[in-house]
Amino acid sequence: MRGDSAPELRQILDEDGQLRDDAVVPDLTDDELLELFRMLKLARHYDERAIKLQRQGRMGTYSPIAGQEAGHAASAFALSGDDWILPSHRADIASRIRGLGLEFHLMYCMGMERGNRIPEDTPVFPVTLPIATQIPHAVGMAWASKYMGSDRVFMPYFGDGGTSEGDFHEGLNFAGVFDTPTVFFINNNQWAISIGPDQQTKSRTLAQKADAYGFEGVRVDGMDPLAVYQVTHEAIEKARDPPEGELRPTLIEALTYRFGPHTTSDDPSVYREDEELERWEQRDPIPRMETFLRDTGRLDAELLETIEQQVADEVNEAIDIAESVDRPEPTNMFDHTFAEPTPRLQAQREELQMLREEYGDDAFTH
């Protein structure tokens, strides 16, 4: 009987970075394992710099990723070829792995439309800020691709809050009915802004929601990079070539934690306890991966220093590129909504212009 038990939590590394009993390291070369580690470090460093940019008034609202690096990086690392991702606003490192420079995400956060103008031949859908709306898009793209005879896989990213949206259920139902090559990736970071898991759903896990739609749900330690890579790799292989009697889609629930606020406009101290954060910080994916690489002779102090310098250089370059682009006029946001602005839109445009003249643009950045 489907749904009578919760899926097991898949793990390869324990919280101390040691290989768990009977666990098998994914089939990755030493260089690939080091590159995955570099992406984790890049995500953390980029996150720290982006928060500072926002605090300095050089960027708008930003959604921190600290704690969730493995969920985004290791899953995107498992994709290949022309496989597509459909990112949420927090999946900047997944987009980077699929070929989109970090400067695009910075420009997006700086309010520049061109930050979401994805270059051709880059299999990344524009960043989706509305919750879960990219899920039906992913399924539709996967269905069309399947009809065209392609073996591409489509992976939308969303958080635990997205599973409460109608688009989530419509998308998964459609994926099951039409057997689309879609891997649904949930970063279950425990908090939908300030709403905890008990108030979001009465299901014991999010992964088992897949039962309702006829395909597999998988639950993985989202702070274990090797486990995330392995379960995503298996889901992608099944999406391309499912065993007889099984459907192509998979719903992956990555159990993780958002160390920081939901966005730089949020204050998590008003709705969660410090002890909870301290418990989850013991599972930090980056020290776990670093310990594994050091213990297995793949990483030493000299190579770590090289990686950290590479990461700093890449982020600096992305910031320089983004800040070298002329900022658009704030009123430009009204120019491309309709061919002819509605009276209400025109009134909003005039009001913004009046406020700028009265208070100056600095009043909107602090």
Residues designated catalytic: 258, 262, 271
Token couple for 155: 């992976």
Stretch (H or E) spanning 75:
helix 69-77
3-state helix, strand, coil in the chain (%, to 5): 50, 10, 40
Two tokens at 42?
A: 């890049």
Residue 256 has what DSSP assignment? -
* Beta pairing, strands 216-221 & 250-255: parallel
Cα–Cα distance between 287 and 37 in angstroms, integer? 10
C-alpha torsion 82→88→89→93, nearest 10? -40
